[in-house]
Structure 1
């Protein structure tokens, strides 16, 4: 029998992995050429930070699923978790394809709002599920601000 954590973990892994096929080398090259803020010294850590955030999000989803498996409310929450992940992952391919840091800033802000909605909902069901979403809440504004600052620095692009 397939366990719920296996399905949640697989979806959490497959969505970011499959998004790599949407990124062309030309688009990635555009992003590499952009100027960064002088204070952006942690860029190499960003993949590790997001990996941790996605693990926490998957764990939160697992807790919620196990609380009341298969109910309509739980399925709706799983859809919200999925939407949050899709919006978060869309940041890179959509921003690269449009070559617009403003689009990236909007996507980042949208992810933050969705995460707040999710936290406020799951907090009432299980406090640990809400706590596991806090890393997203703390990091997302940093990433969004960084993208906004990059759009300001690279305004000619």
Structure 2
């Protein structure tokens, strides 16, 4: 029998592949952008997001197991999916548009969805809510970093 965590993890893994929908020529634009001096953690970002997506999948599994198949649970699963899609859209959309403002808007949208989802699942499972905190914290850092990069690269806003 296929367990819920397998399905949730599989969907998370498949959606995460959306970050690969960019053209290599778009990377040249991003590489040339000036970054804040304090952005020493950039090489760790893929690992950080991998952990955050795993936490999100764990959170979704706790919520699903609480009341599997209910309308409320399906709506929350849709919110988890929306959060991941918005997050995954950041890289290819920002690169394709060559616009840090687009990235900041997507980051802000993800931050709002992440906060709403966290507040929605806390009454169901405190563990599920806590597992979303890395997203809420890191999403804010990423959104702020993108905004800060606009200040350093106004021509790429």
Given the two structures, how large is their TM-score scaled by the length of structure 2?
0.97
- CA deviation after TM superposition for structure 1 residue 85, in Å: 0.2
- The offset of 1:140, in angstroms, is 0.9
The 4+ residue runs of structure 1 with deviation greater than 3 A are none
Q: Could you say which residue in structure 2 is the equivalent of 1:135?
A: 134
Q: Which residue of 2 aligns with 1:105?
A: 104
Name the counterpart of 1:89.
88
Q: Deviations over 1:84-111 (max 9, x none)?
A: 0000000001101100001000100110
Structure 2 residue 91 is the aligned partner of structure 1 residue 55:
no
In the alignment of these two chains, the number of paired residues is 156
Name the SS for the 1:132 alignment partner.
Answer: helix
Distance in 2, Cα, partners of 1:137 & 1:90: 17
**Per-residue deviation, 1:133:** 0.4
Cα distance in 1 between the residues matched to 2:106 and 2:3: 32
Which ranges in structure 2 are unaligned for 5 or more consecutive residues?
Answer: none
Task: Determine the structure 2 residue equivalent to 1:125.
Answer: 124
3-state SS of 2:34 partner = coil
Corresponding residue for 2:75? 76
Q: Which moved more, 1:55-64 or 1:27-36?
A: 27-36
Cα root mean square deviation, aligned: 0.8
TM-score, length of structure 1 as denominator length = 0.97
SS of the residue corresponding to residue 156 of structure 1 reads helix
Counterpart of 1:124 in 2: which secondary structure?
coil
Shift of 1:19: 3.5
How big is the shift at 1:18? 3.6
User: Counterpart in 1 of 2:15?
Assistant: 15
